[in-house]
């Protein structure tokens, strides 16, 4: 409770003698609590104070560890990002699951509004080539319901227990390889997808989510495509970071 009051006091004008908490501050605090619960909460963290949670997140993302919901922290958690939980450096899913088929087949269920189908097809193909360029993997598109990885553009609650939130925070998610289930990469269809810096660049998000589908979790390295927050860069000059390459080659060599 004390840490929460300190956080709220941080945002109050110094001239006030009676604490008045604005709705914006409460919204930010509630957003942070939901963010931490969604992406970091584990059994061991259930007794963390809000200040502890803030310091944990700030340390994880290499922000200044103030323990306050300051402007850099607020701005960071509001950035568009992947819906998968966060871990550390390059990391692998528990048990190091991989896709054993090679070539890996993939299928596309539908297309987003605002992009030509041909462009989407080319974007996904280029995304697979990013990972095949540093591994022995090959990828092959198929036009049947049975494939190793299925791409789809979906909105809101779509049946997998990880609902999308409309245009904004959560862009996409994917699931670790599982020998008993088809792999899935889901994009939020409410986003404004593109192949430029307008809206959300589909190529960059597809490369990231494919990393998950192949067995990589998130990285703390901001230069890594597996960093959880979306960061635009020109696809023409895109290269995997050393962290990405080490991670994927740990699985496929």
212 close to 84: Cβ distance less than 8 angstroms: yes
Q: What's the pLDDT at 20?
A: 45
- Report which of 217, 252, 134, 148 is spatially closest to residue 225, judged by C-alpha positions: 217
Tens digits of pLDDT across the chain (253 residues): 334 433 433 333 333 333 444 567 788 889 999 888 888 866 666 678 889 889 888 888 889 999 999 999 999 999 999 998 886 555 678 788 999 999 999 999 999 999 999 999 999 999 999 999 999 999 999 998 899 999 999 999 999 999 999 998 899 999 999 988 899 999 999 999 999 999 999 999 999 999 999 999 999 899 999 999 999 999 999 999 999 999 999 999 9
- Cα–Cα distance measured from residue 94 to residue 98, given in angstroms and rounded to the nearest whole number: 11
Instruction: For helices 2-10 and 23-39, give the axis angle rounded to 10 degrees.
Output: 130
| Number of residues assigned to the chain | 253
According to DSSP, the residues that pair with 139 across neighbouring strands are 104
| Residue 77 CB-half CA count within 13 A | 24
Report the predicted TM-score, pTM, of the whole model to 2 decimal places.
0.77
Q: What share of the chain is helix, strand, coil (3-state, %, to 5)?
A: 35, 15, 50
Report whether 71 contacts 58 (CB < 8 A): no
Q: How far apart are CA 176 and CA 70, in angstroms?
A: 34
51 among known catalytic residues: no
DSSP 225: T
User: For position 21, what pLDDT does the model report?
Assistant: 47
pLDDT value for 43 = 61
For position 24, what pLDDT does the model report? Answer: 72
Side-chain half-sphere exposure of 127, counting CA atoms within 13 A: 27
Q: Which of 150, 191, 209, 217 is catalytic?
A: 209
Residues 6 or more apart from 60 whose CB is under 8 A from it? 40, 86, 88, 220
Domains by residue range for the chain, with CATH = 2-78 (1.10.101), 104-251 (3.40.390.10)
Give 75's contacts (C-beta < 8 A, 6+ positions apart).
none
| Angle between helix 23-39 and helix 50-60 axes, rounded to 10 deg | 60
Dihedral angle computed from the Cα positions of residues 200, 201, 206 and 207, in that order, rounded to the nearest 10 degrees: -130
């Amino acid at each position: 409770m004390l840490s929460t009051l300190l956080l709220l006091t941080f945002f109050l004008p110094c001239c006030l003698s009676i604490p008045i908490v604005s709705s914006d501050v409460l919204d930010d605090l509630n957003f942070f609590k939901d963010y931490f619960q969604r992406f970091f909460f584990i059994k061991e963290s259930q007794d963390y104070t809000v200040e502890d949670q803030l310091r944990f997140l700030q340390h994880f993302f290499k922000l200044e560890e103030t323990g306050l919901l300051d402007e850099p922290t607020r701005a960071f958690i509001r950035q568009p990002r992947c819906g998968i939980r966060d871990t550390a450096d390059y990391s692998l899913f528990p048990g190091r699951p991989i896709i054993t088929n090679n070539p890996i087949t993939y299928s596309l269920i539908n297309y987003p509004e605002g992009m030509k189908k041909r462009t989407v097809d080319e974007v996904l193909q280029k995304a697979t080539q990013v990972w095949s360029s540093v591994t022995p993997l090959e990828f092959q598109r198929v036009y049947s319901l049975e494939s190793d990885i299925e791409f789809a553009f979906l909105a809101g609650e779509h049946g997998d227990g990880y609902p999308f939130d409309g245009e904004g925070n959560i862009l996409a998610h994917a699931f670790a390889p599982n020998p008993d289930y088809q792999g899935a990469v889901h994009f939020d269809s409410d986003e404004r997808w593109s192949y430029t810096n307008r809206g959300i660049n589909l190529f960059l998000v597809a490369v990231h989510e494919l990393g998950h589908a192949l067995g990589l979790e998130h990285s703390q390295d901001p230069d890594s495509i597996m960093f959880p927050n979306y960061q635009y860069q020109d696809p023409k000059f895109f290269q995997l970071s050393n962290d990405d390459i080490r991670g994927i080659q740990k699985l496929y060599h």
